[in-house]
Amino acid sequence: MNRHTLLLLAIGTLGITTAFAQTAMEPAPDDAATVTAPIEPESLPLDELRLFTEVLHRIKRDYVEPIDDRTLLEHAIRGMLAGLDPHSSYLNADDYAGLQEGTTGEFGGLGIEVSMEDGYIRVIAPIDDTPAARAGVQAGDLIIRLDETPVKGLSLNDAIERMRGAPGSEIELTISREGVDTPLTLRIVRDIVRVASVRGRLLEPGYGYLRIATFQARTGSDLRDHLLRLQGEGGGLYGVILDLRNNPGGVLGAAVEVADAFLERGEIVHTGGRAADSSVPFNAKPPDLLKGAPLIVLVNEGSASASEIVAGALQDRKRAVIVGRKTFGKGSVQTILPISNESALKLTTALYFTPAGRSIQAEGIKPDIVIDKLRVAAQEASPTEVKEADLARHLDNTTVPSPPAATAEPPANTVLAKDDFELFEALNLLKAMALMQHRANAEAE
């Protein structure tokens, strides 16, 4: 069998496998699956096939080291998918298993969601309480070196493989960060990453806080459990802040469940692509677990994919006020197409659209109220400030209680303002919304 025959057989086999996989798609964690009928084969461009065959022949004959046909063809498949967009890729058996592990919330590595941009690795978001987050990796960082290896020239899968490793082993990331003149070097110790998808607490009596770090298979049910617990602890809730900052996305079904928890009815999201049956709507059903109480969604540049679906749905349905900064803009649907040798294709097949028909892709969700990155620092009183108590012959107020001791802890909201100014501002807004709703309800009675 000559090389030309071998190549055509390989292409034919791939074509048959792909057509079969399209009738048995499984959803990727991060996105929806659409089921399409096998497509009719199109005529192949003979000139380009001859070029491909010639390149294959030259590599096999002249490359500095011998390389087998299987490896060359796998490289060709990877390159073909990588050339489409940052999210399409070929998954070998190990990659496929790793992708499936990600939906369970436990996997090995750094705890970082990344994409490829101009040959470098762009950090979408570090995941809460993971090695990457603790080391100071930030959303928007560009990773330019992994240990001594430049990222430029590596595929996304190759870079991810290098970042993986045994728990306890170290890796050095060289990072370019906006606003920082020189590259940063971070040494990170790999660990087993266990992601608690949902956390919740009361910020003040009656005001709940729910944080979703990533969307996993159980996120919807976990959010409902936390919400019910907070309602019991506070004797009811006046309002809730849903924090999706630096949430890189995850399972589509979980995003739909989270949005559904706060909606009575109506569309949450729909997908649309080239295939006739790629338009799939996802709708809410009663009840709204908050019963119409005010809701604020916190987002930033690290909020992507499933996070943007939730924020876009609640914004379009006028159910929540979106606060923070413009989101990442990852609005494409990846479908997992399993193929016969335990590998799979992760292929972009459609785009997400909000209930109002807005595409999230490369646009993101614009918040209703923008809060820039700020930190609050303590400010000493100015010596030129004059108050009533400083005036000569001022009247004393003998009913004023003694001030608290100097060792007393500062008020909780003061601590919150210093630790997380965005959350502090969101809480103030939530209180105002709850007050206005209470007044409106009182007038209606």
Active site members: 305, 316, 330
**295-299 and 239-243 beta bridge pairing:** parallel
Mind spelling out the 3-state secondary structure of 82-151? Answer: HCCCCCCEEECHHHHHHHHHHCCCEEEECCEEEEEECCEEEEEEECCCCHHHHHCCCCCCEEEEECCEEC
**26-27 and 332-338 beta bridge pairing:** antiparallel
Distance between CA 169 and CA 183 in Å, rounded?
A: 23
Distance between CA 147 and CA 122 in Å, rounded?
A: 17
Strand positions, DSSP E, 205-294: 207-212, 239-243, 266-272, 280-284
Q: In the beta sheet, which residues pair with residue 198?
A: 212
User: Whose CA is closest to 349, among 299, 275, 268, 246?
Assistant: 275
Distance between CA 424 and CA 243 in Å, rounded?
A: 12
Q: How many CA atoms lie within 13 A of 49 on its CB side?
A: 14
Distance between CA 296 and CA 311 in Å, rounded?
A: 10
Residues 6+ apart with CB under 8 A from 3: 53, 56, 57, 60
Give 210: exposed, middle or buried? Use CB within 10 Å, 0-12, 13-18, 19+: buried
Two tokens at 404? 């608290």
* 287 prior amide bond cis, ω within 30: yes
- In degrees and rounded to multiples of 5, residue 429 shows phi and psi of -65, -40
Q: Are 329 and 276 in contact (CB under 8 A)?
A: no
Two tokens at 362? 């490369």
Two tokens at 202? 């009361």
Distance between CA 80 and CA 97 in Å, rounded?
A: 22
Two tokens at 250? 């995850």
Distance between CA 178 and CA 361 in Å, rounded?
A: 23
